[in-house]
Amino acid sequence: MTVIKKSHHELSDTEKIARLKNIANYTNERLHNWYFAAKRDYNVNGIAKASYKLENETIIITYTEEGITRVFEVNYVLENSTELDYAFYVWAGSASEEDTILD
């Protein structure tokens, strides 16, 4: 039996939301583990939360390190990758002090 996956262009909004929610949930697990290890290994205090919005198929990662809260967005997640950890790896490789600071 051959399973054919729909391209992201063929997905309904409901299907896109389900996939984005799944990616956000997975990303939250990875973020939790990341900051657990950062505290243990480097004494870095941090916490992060991933959420999603359908517009631009975006995963939003709001993270706080040493009391400073920033936001990082990964757009077109469904178009760019089929991997669950895509958004996490983009954040881990690109998040910086240049990200938007939240008050």
Residue 1 lies in a domain: no
pTM of this structure: 0.87
Instruction: Summarize pLDDT for 23-77 with one digit per residue, the tens.
Output: 999 999 999 999 999 999 999 999 999 999 999 999 999 999 999 999 999 999 9
Model pLDDT, residue 25: 98
d(CA 20, CA 34): 20
- Which H helix or E strand runs over 58? strand 58-65
Residue 93 lies in a domain: yes
Does residue 86 have a pLDDT over 60?
Answer: yes
CA 80 to chain centre: 13
Residue 90 lies in a domain: yes
Model pLDDT, residue 96: 86
Does residue 3 have a pLDDT over 70?
Answer: no
Residue 2 lies in a domain: no
Model pLDDT, residue 6: 61
The SS3 assignment for 57 reads helix
Residue 4 lies in a domain: no
Model pLDDT, residue 51: 98
Residue whose entry in the numeric block shows the structure tokens 């505290």: 39
Task: Return contacts of 76-82, CB within 8 angstroms, 24+ apart.
Answer: 77/20, 77/23, 78/8, 78/11, 78/16, 78/19, 78/20, 79/8, 82/5
For residues 15-26, average pLDDT: 96
Residue 95 lies in a domain: yes
